Amino acid sequence: MKKIIFFIICSVVLNFNCSSERILIEEQEIIEEIAAPDEEINPDEEDDDAIVTENQNTFKILGLGDSYTIGQSVCDTCKFPVQLKDSLINNFNSDNEFELKVIATTGWTTTNLIGAIDRENINNDYNLVTLLIGVNNQYQKKPFSIYESEFPQLVNTAISKGKGDKKNVIVVSIPDYAYTPFGNGNTNISTEIDRYNSFAEDYCTKNNITYISITDITRMGLNNPELVASDGLHPSKLAYTKFVERILPVAIEKLKD
């Protein structure tokens, strides 16, 4: 009888000890789980994501040229690169940003523009590059051979600045100032402008580079004085608006690709 009572007492003690151990282990696991720190967040990864998003929503535009790009004799917001930027803003979501840089000065030839780009030392990260150059080569009676060698050089520079992708470049034809009070309908001017534009268009066609002609718009200048600026020589705000009407659809497609 004593053995039976002893066995019962030992069983109770053992069960109590085992239960106590299980409770202690479970409590320890709960404590460790609560005390465990949250998963660490790498701040660098968050910054990288933010930068990528910002870059995707920022489009950089570069305008290369002469008086027709800088907008001689019209307001700052009237020149075609600015009108193009403003039109793009209106055609994209509001979370997109557009930055514009213009390298252009009245009187510049292809040689002047090449030197200016070299001095600027700009980055090669532009989403869209426009190039309109050559009228001063014609006006200053520079040898045509200079344009034949320097125009392709400028196109290649434009491609380089446009992330090395020719799809990011738009070449714009040279306006015809013969159809202004200054040009007074001089047919020799028109013939020479045609020669420059034909060379540029042929080069762009052979190399799969976008070429947009706006010359015909400027040839309405004598019949429609509103297309000519107050100086009697350069395009007006209205003329540049018509330039942009042709450039804009192409620019939108390039930026969406």
Q: Domain ranges in the chain?
A: 1-35, 56-256
- Whether pLDDT at 49 is above 70: no
Q: What percent of the chain has pLDDT over 90?
A: 76
Top pLDDT among 43 and 245 is at 245
Q: Over the chain, what HEC string results?
A: CHHHHHHHHHHHHHHHHHHHHHHHHHHHHHHHHHHCCCCCCCHHHHHHHHHHHHHHCEEEEEEEECHHHHCCCCCCCCCHHHHHHHHHHHHCCCCCEEEEEEEECCCCCHHHHHHHHHHHCCCCCCCEEEEECCHHHHHCCCCHHHHHHHHHHHHHHHHHHCCCCHHHEEEECCCCHHHCCCCCCCHHHHHHHHHHHHHHHHHHHHCCCEEECCHHHHCCCCCCHHHECCCCCCECHHHHHHHHHHHHHHHHHHHHC
pTM across the whole model? 0.79
For residue 257, the model assigns a pLDDT of: 80
Superfamily for domain range 56-256: SGNH hydrolase (3.40.50.1110)
Q: What does the pLDDT look like over 156-167, one tens digit per residue?
A: 999 999 999 999
